[in-house]
Amino acid sequence: MSRTGVQWRYLPHDFPDWQSVYSYFRQWKKDGTLKLLHDVLRGKVRKQAGRAVQPTAGVLDSQSVKSDVQAQTRGYDANKKMKGRKRHLLVDMLGLVLVAWVTTADVQDRDASAAVLPLAAEQFPTLVKAWADAAYEGPRVERIAQQTGVQVEIVKRSDTTPGFVVQPKRWVVERTFGWLSRERRLARDYERKEESCEAFIYLGMIRLMLGRLA
């Protein structure tokens, strides 16, 4: 469903009735089952890649996407000239999601760091560093970094090199956004609630990680 973007009512006939499938999705979204499954798989993928289960470094960024008119919350991103929601991701150096937080598109990245970095520090005590772009530069992020113990290093874009240039470290999270954009359900924000948006981010990554472990 995450991959094809099919609506609940049009699930294939070899599935149970759509109400039952949606009921499990709703329950697992609320009780944390989807995130727990996601986190267990992330640990297995990291071990398979020769990494420790707990990360020590990550990359932070956001992505604004258009949302459907039925969305309960929407905002206008003046930079992207887009009305919708924003996905804030902190990923490890393999591009696997550590923290996903969805807001309206008008929430600034600096403000979002006040939620993302404390969550990361709480869930990953080994995390000591995160790279981010210039949108996270400033005293607010510096203060949050000191409080959480996660050093934030800003990777600025080069103004002297013309055309597209792969930015050190930052390309890791950009690749993750690319992976998620292949999921039709995530190519646009179709969800009424922000919690459902986050759940489909985890579902997209679950599908990707299962493929790596197969």
- In the chain, the percentage of residues whose pLDDT exceeds 90 is 74
Q: How far is CA 187 from the centre of its chain?
A: 13
Domain covering 21-157+166-213, topology: Nucleotidyltransferase; domain 5 (3.30.420)
36-40, 84-88, 163-167: least confident range: 163-167
Select the highest-mean-pLDDT range: 12-16, 80-84, 145-149, 166-170.
Answer: 145-149
The pLDDT value recorded for residue 2 is 61
Q: What is the mean pLDDT of residues 92-106?
A: 97
Strands (E) across the chain are located at 57-66, 75-77, 82-92, 97-104, 129-132, 151-154
pLDDT tens column, 111-122? 999 999 999 999
* CA–CA gap between residue 25 and residue 98 (Å, rounded): 21
Residue pair 136/152 in contact (Cβ under 8 Å)? The answer is yes
134-140: which pairs have CB atoms within 8 A and are 24 or more residues apart? Answer: 135/62, 135/108, 135/109, 135/110, 136/60, 136/109, 136/110, 137/110, 138/110, 140/110, 140/111, 140/113, 140/114
Over the stretch 179-206, which tens digit does the pLDDT of each residue have?
999 988 898 888 899 999 999 999 999 9
At residue 9, the 3 state secondary structure works out as helix
State whether residue 55 is helix, strand or coil: coil
Measured from the Cβ of residue 160, the count of other Cβ atoms closer than 10 Å reads 5
Average pLDDT, the chain: 90
Contact 156, 33 (CB under 8 A): no
HSE-CB for 144 with a 13 A CA cutoff: 22
Gap between the Cα atoms of 160 and 213, Å rounded: 42
Residue 21 has pLDDT above 90, yes or no: no
Kindly report, residue by residue over 143-186, the tens digit of the pLDDT. Answer: 999 999 999 999 987 655 555 556 778 999 999 999 999 988 89
pTM score, two decimals? 0.89
